[in-house]
Chains A and B, each alone.
Chain A
């Protein structure tokens, strides 16, 4: 297939993942804000915006942090290239680029999502609609993944799309952990101390991991356990270990199809070695921030290597 088309598929799914992640962040922030006092709620929205990587853009337009400002900025903010609306437009544009490589089912989900979102987000979203809007965006992602799994050939197209999803997801999980950890644990000595369990609940909710985590830990919330779960538990589809395993499998499938490995496969192996045999204690000892920065750097390098190996750009 064409390198440009592969690039389109990869980014189509990165943007889809990003839109979905933004919707999760809003959902989690909303829940947090509803259960807290106003001062804490303001802090929460500040951290939601920071986690989404939209702080500079937001602060150019707003001086204060309120829920309604925050979610409107993240969903449809004018001049916000990271807004959900802008990302769904990117998803669709990339899908159009790769139109002859995706199934009709998948195209219709994406096209319909963009049409509905344009409608829905034409006007500011109030308190009473935000839940519905966030749920809609998350449903789009579920539908798109379902359409892909159910209707697409397991050929190059599929592997590039999936590689895009897991690259983005690993990045998002690393980022939310990094930011929350900074906010919540000013120093290592805090590990194990009495924690703001509400805040950690938000972290779990923003990756839809609250249910799974509760099931494993019988309802106990502790920072060490949550970090271990989100970094190392390869059964959970939004942990770093899981994202890496999936990305590794997609890259291996591409190498098999092409009859040779590229630089991305080598970098992936490095990253695996780095993550393998690590315990949560090692990681906390080394410093979670350093560890996460390293993960994100490796992630970027792998994405760049995929683009180079498979000639995404002229």
Chain B
């Protein structure tokens, strides 16, 4: 897939001048010796492999582990840009929580005619078990990842909200550690906001949402599907960094009305469960009966105030792509303000007028499944053959409500390091947001994903994307 039209280069302006964000970096870069940089670029991979920062790939060789390629040139955002983004992110996350609360209570937004009832009725991620329930501290989405793309100096858009269990934060942290280990002099020269206190803030934020039944300092545990899960490294990393237990479903059971973990000294209650398993697998008594990853009866304990589940079950309703298209109205409805961060223009194929337009313009558009993720099951019109487009057209026609379409955006570029020097590649950005009962905290930085192939717009790690350290400059 290639871009059409003007692409915004984050490092350099139209006549090649270095933009403010990158001026210090550029000065440092010019003093570096190409040989050393090339060596460090290769060393980076060794560091990741040694420390075991890998993700597992399903299907292939039994539990094959891969590295996500890392690029040594940081993605840099100025303090002013970040301030503006933060305000928009905070507004959006506040609205998301209010929205989810409303969906499981009076559904004012539906009554007000701002959201069609059918979006909820036919939505498998909407959980009837959550109706009328107040999660501890009133928080639904304890951790949110907001995917942003940029197309111009002031043009940032939200591409996707991740309100279930966003992953990738360990890469944000390890990318920074690796950069500091490799280029200490660079950090002495350029003042960069720190990201390393994320695990501590996460632990604090989770503890602040302890359930009524908690006594003393809240016990936090991370629930992982196990060592063969693609994100196991991250689960272990976060548990380690938070000083929390890393539990699997088989370690947990309901004891005396609490969810308890099997320790060497017997069963001990868990107060807050930072779960990294999907809703479907959480409780075989309530959801999928064949699930071995969850805890039978945990939903009953949850509903009786015995445990906090983070993120709350049923938050997926707020991040499917059909709901996404209503986010501008949602933000306005709950905050009374105009959205500070715009959506990418989105056509809903469920709407007959939109459908007609989408089918007409198919070769120019990106079409996504409403519940899809990871870059799978989508059509990128400009990068597809006539045959592929024709096939996809059939899918859309037979199930229009399963699809949305967006224009093919000219994502901004950042330089990556190649042996031939710096070369621009398309990027996106996922900042991580923590929600407590009394505040919303955004870590200054996030995960920048980069499409390593020249011209490519697909940044997903499952499809050849890499990552970069993301810098927010200090004031």
Contact = CB atoms under 8 A, between A and B. Distances in A.
Contact of A93 (B227, B237, B250, B251): B227
B51 A1 contact: no
Contact of A2 (B52, B227, B261): B261
Given A107-B52, A111-B51, A99 B262 contact: no
Contacts of A107: 51-52
B264 interface: yes
A112 interface: yes
Contacts of B262: 2-4, 311, 314
B234 to A, nearest CB: 11
Interface string B227-248: 1000010001101100011111
A286 interface: no
B50 interface: yes
Given A96-B236, A97-B227, A112 B264 contact: no
A96 B50 contact: no
Contact of B264 (A99, A100, A104, A258): A258
Nearest to A7: B264
A314 B268 CA distance: 14
Contact of B52 (A97, A111, A258, A311): A111
B263 interface: yes
B50 A2 contact: no
A310 B264 CA distance: 4
A115 B262 CA distance: 32
A196 interface: no
A108 B50 contact: yes
A91 to B, nearest CB: 13
Contacts of B237: 99
Nearest to B54: A111
B227 A100 contact: no
Contacts of A311: 262-264, 266
Interface in B402-437: none
A178 interface: no
21 contacts: A2-B245, A2-B247, A2-B262, A2-B264, A3-B251, A4-B251, A96-B52, A96-B236, A99-B239, A99-B246, A100-B239, A100-B240, A100-B244, A100-B246, A104-B51, A107-B51, A108-B50, A111-B51, A111-B52, A311-B262, A314-B262
A1 B246 CA distance: 10
Given A4-B251, A99-B236, 13 more contacts: A2-B245, A3-B264, A4-B248, A4-B262, A6-B264, A96-B52, A96-B232, A96-B236, A100-B245, A115-B50, A310-B264, A311-B266, A314-B262
A314 B250 contact: yes
A156 interface: yes
Interface in A180-195: none
* Main DSSP-derived SS at the B contact region: mixed
A96 B227 contact: yes
B264 A108 contact: no
Contacts of B239: 99-100
Which 10 A-B residue pairs are closest in the complex by CB-CB distance? A99-B236, A100-B240, A310-B264, A100-B239, A111-B52, A3-B262, A100-B246, A96-B227, A6-B264, A314-B250
Interface string B76-112: 0000000000000000000000000000000000000
Nearest to B245: A2
B19 interface: no
B89 to A, nearest CB: 30
Given A100-B240, A111-B51, A2 B232 contact: no
A80 to B, nearest CB: 17
Contacts of A111: 50-52
A1 B262 CA distance: 8
A289 to B, nearest CB: 36
Nearest to B261: A2
B49 interface: yes
Interface in A156-204: 156
Interface string A90-126: 0001001101100010011001100100000000000
Nearest to A93: B227
B264 A156 contact: yes
